Amino acid sequence: MQSGHSLEFVDDLLTRCRNRFQRTLFLVDDGRVTREKIKEIARGEYAFDQEYVKLPYAEAIYELRELAALVLELQERRERLVKEMEKIVPDHAIFTIPGIGAITGAVILARVVDFSRFPSAESSVFCGLDPVVERSGSRTTSRGISKRGDRYLRKALYMAALAMIANRNNPVTRFYDEHRDRLRGKKMVIACARKLARIVWSVGYHNRPFEVR
């Protein structure tokens, strides 16, 4: 699943370039970023106020043009990768999990490589979704998640869980319904992502199609 690695790399670069572009744009413009504005800046057609065309702002405008061209190139590369990944015929058991599509599945397989590296379902540590709990006497305090595992894998599972919560009819739905009164917002999404990580591990480790239980 080399394409999974490539997509992560492109997403990383794209996020950094966009952030740098927006920070620089604030120096010479209103900071609002649209795809059309990026295209115009890359082509040198965007009309900046005349006061910014001179030094020292001219250097910022030159950098913006370079960054805009790079952002457009990365966006096109990402679109090509997504199309390639969507054409891949899924041949792994994790693709039988409702809600795990070609892109998410490819990223998971690219990052995990071999599920046998993680011997138990408690290995949600492989993606850093395992909870951090501190105990002092009779007091127990939750400190969020460890984030010790693979951040790309963690992001893929988090985004997949978010989509599953919205779309329903998937293995995360029941867990969500059972805990919605106790958990809210990001905590709920993280808990759902952890549940999904366990499901993915079980299906991937045993290499058996997903079954509703």
User: Residue 136 pLDDT more than 80?
Assistant: no
What's the pLDDT at 192?
92
Same domain, 183 and 164: yes
Model confidence band, residue 23 (pLDDT cutoffs 50, 70, 90): very high
Q: Which position has the higher pLDDT, 146 or 177?
A: 177
Spatial separation of the C-alpha atoms in residues 4 and 11, rounded to whole Å: 11
Same domain, 99 and 83: no
Domain range for residue 140?
Answer: 93-206
Say which range, 60-69, 75-84, 129-138, 148-157, has the weakest mean pLDDT.
Answer: 129-138
What mean pLDDT, rounded, does the chain reach?
Answer: 84
Who's near 172: CB < 8 A, 6+ residues apart?
99, 161, 164, 165, 192, 195, 196
What's the pLDDT at 36?
94
Same domain, 83 and 136: no
For the CA atoms of 89, 115, 8, 12, what is the dihedral angle to 10 degrees?
A: 170
SS3 at position 83: helix
User: Looking at the domain assignment, is residue 67 inside a domain?
Assistant: yes
Q: How many CA within 13 A on the CB side of residue 183?
A: 15
